[in-house]
Chains A and B, each alone.
Chain A
């Protein structure tokens, strides 16, 4: 496991433990994806509103804690500030809010909005003849929403080569309406598609680098709860809960035991 991503997971556990809030399994599946995206994006933690920055939209807003932990490690704010997650007066909700948090570009939470928003931002950059890029992260369960595919069609038709969609293929919705063969589907909708191991930071960075002829979709094969066996084996039980005093050391032990 990438050491930075291991630390981000430690931060995630700490926040969930201290706050009593968090969607740990889904957050653990996207840590490398978010970390890799910020690794190729132009951005400045000291100047979150830098006018030449690339944009990241977390369409699956319930993974907000993962985004907070990445932004915290990158220096947008002290990671321990997020310990207030979900509390009265905190700027950190269980879904991200652009009006409160440095580095958050869009307030999300209701699924199926991110690609459309990101497409509009990418279209704006295209009109402005800007080199700025837009990244958005969506989930496989989220992709049950028709608005996802509507927006993908529009983005591909407009050949928004400055838009990259990160698809978290953690099979979270296998029990509901599974999205079989997502790469094939996105190709059929006119996108360029790359398939990678969603926990391989180098592979993810390579997939996010540069731009092609149209919208790029990075289908990232991920595991819900990746990094802690307890979470992986009990994703539904852990969907919205946080660790207690007895569970915290066990989860940290499992995380620390992950090979580099």
Chain B
């Protein structure tokens, strides 16, 4: 997804001289072409995430469209107050683009993992929060939102899916399967292939989101008569769905514990119940409960 982020920014920068890159010593070489073309709008500002956000807010206040980019926990959890006050409250909006979603850096341990970014940022008024799962989503969402003047979070993963989706519209969820089943599985982001595989022959509805905030309330409401199982690799979607009145929502994934093991993203997903077999067990358990009720 990072390469798509670069391609999209390079493309829109051809016609928009208000784009400024504010990097936290991440993806610096990747953006060399941008640096060569627009040296006065490229800043590898240092490993100082609080200041990256504040500076970007200052740039935004004067009409620029900043992109702040660093590793997920550092640019979100560490800089939460700068995002809240300098960007959101002041109305100096910017684009915050993270890399290393959830367990992408599984081998690096808990310091480099982040499962709370979407959930905490969606609590900030006026923020828009994206969890794209594919390169095409990254491209469409950036183009649609980067110049809005608002504060937007884009969470990039190193493990994008390649599933064909219909039009990507910010704030709109996508119905992948509607069998009028009594159970609807909802998910977001790059974990989609695991969910599809887990549910491949099960009688469930399947709904996908790339936008965590604003959540597509109309779409959720249209499945409100069903039970909903949210399968998520980061906190955020479950809370967004569950707070809509009248929903009956269950959750799969992410125990209340730090992941203290190492490995690859697949290992981490297995640890937290997000591999296809674990997801399938969770879906089957809900279906059994429903059948027994």
A-side interface residues toward B, CB under 8 Å? 98-99, 105-107, 109-110, 112-113, 115-128, 146-147, 150-151, 153-154, 157-158
Docked pose: A122 CA to B45 CA in angstroms: 14
Decide yes or no: A99 and B91 within 8 Å by CB, A119-B54, A119-B55, A147-B50 being known contacts: yes
Binds A, one of B57-65, B173-181, B224-232: B57-65
Which residues from A are CB-within-8-Å of B43? 123, 158
> Which residues of A are found within 8 Å of B60, using beta-carbon distances?
120
A-contact 0/1 string along B40-58, CB 8 Å cutoff: 1101011010110111111
Known contacts A107-B85, A113-B82, A153-B48, A120 near B54 by CB under 8 Å: yes
Measured between beta carbons, the chain A residues less than 8 angstroms from B61 are 105-106, 117, 120-121, 124
**B20 interface residue, CB < 8 Å from A?**
yes
Give chain A residues whose Cβ lies under 8 Å from the Cβ of B40. 126-127
We find that the number of chain B residues with CB closer than 8 angstroms to chain A is 30
B233 at the interface (CB under 8 A from A): no
Chain A's closest residue to B53 (CB) is A116
Residue in B66, B86, B89 whose beta carbon sits within 8 Å of that of A116 in the complex:
B86
With A107-B89, A113-B85, A118-B58 in contact, do A151 and B51 touch (Cβ < 8 Å)?
Answer: yes
CB contacts between A and B, total, < 8 Å: 96
Chain A residues positioned under 8 Å from B45 (CB to CB): 154
Q: Give Cα A109 to B60, complex, Å.
A: 20
A116 to B62, Cβ gap below 8 A?
no
Q: How far in angstroms is the closest Cβ of chain B from A64?
A: 15
Q: Are A116 and B58 in contact (CB under 8 A)?
A: yes
8 example contacts (A-B, Cβ-Cβ < 8 A) are as follows A106-B61, A107-B89, A109-B85, A116-B82, A120-B58, A124-B61, A125-B62, A151-B51
**Contact partners of A146 in chain B: CB under 8 A:** 50
Interface centre among A117, A118, A125, A153, by most B CB within 10 Å? A117
Minimum CB distance partner of A147 in chain B: B50
Which residues of A have CB within 8 Å of B58? 116-124
Task: Determine whether the beta carbon of A123 is less than 8 Å from that of B59.
Answer: yes
**Cβ B59 vs Cβ A120 within 8 A:** yes
B54 to chain A, nearest CB (A): 3
Assembly CA distance A5 to B100 (angstroms): 53
A127 with B20, Cβ < 8 A, contacts A116-B58, A117-B54, A118-B58 known: yes
- Given A124-B59, A127-B20: A151 touches B89 (CB 8 Å cut-off): no
- Residues of A with C-beta under 8 A to B66: 120
B50-A150 in contact (CB<8A) = yes
Query: Contacts A124-B63, A127-B41: A151 and B54 contacting too (C-beta < 8 A)?
Result: yes
* A146, B40: Cα distance in complex, Å: 27
Contact across chains for B55 and A123 when beta carbons are under 8 A apart? yes
B81 beta carbon closer than 8 Å to chain A: yes
Q: B91 touching A154 by the CB < 8 A rule? A: no
Q: Kindly state the separation between the CA atoms of A98 and B57 in the bound complex, as whole angstroms.
A: 14
Does B266 sit within 8 A of A, measured CB to CB? no
* A153: chain B residues within 8 A (beta carbon): 46, 48
> In the complex, which residue of chain A has the Cβ closest to the Cβ of B40?
A127
B87 CB, nearest partner CB in chain A, Å? 10
Give complex CA distance A128, B62 in Å.
10
Chain B minimum-CB-distance residue to A126: B40
Q: Is the CB of B51 within 8 A of A119?
A: yes
Given contacts A147-B51, A154-B45, contact A124 B86 (CB under 8 A): no
| Cβ of B148 under 8 Å from chain A | no
Q: A128-B62, A151-B51 are in contact. List 20 more A-B contacts (CB 8 A).
A: A98-B90, A98-B91, A99-B90, A106-B61, A113-B85, A115-B54, A116-B53, A117-B61, A120-B55, A120-B59, A123-B55, A124-B58, A124-B62, A127-B41, A146-B50, A147-B50, A147-B82, A151-B55, A154-B48, A154-B51
Contact A113 B54 (CB under 8 A): yes
The answer to whether A154 and B46 touch (CB under 8 A), given A120-B58, A123-B55, is yes
Q: Which residues from A are CB-within-8-Å of B51?
A: 116, 119, 147, 150-151, 154
Are A154 and B55 CB-contacts (below 8 A) given A99-B91, A113-B85, A127-B40? yes
Residues of A within 8 A of B46 (CB): 150, 153-154, 157
Closest B residue to A145 using CB positions = B50
What residues of B have a CB within 8 angstroms of the CB of A120 in the complex?
54-61, 66
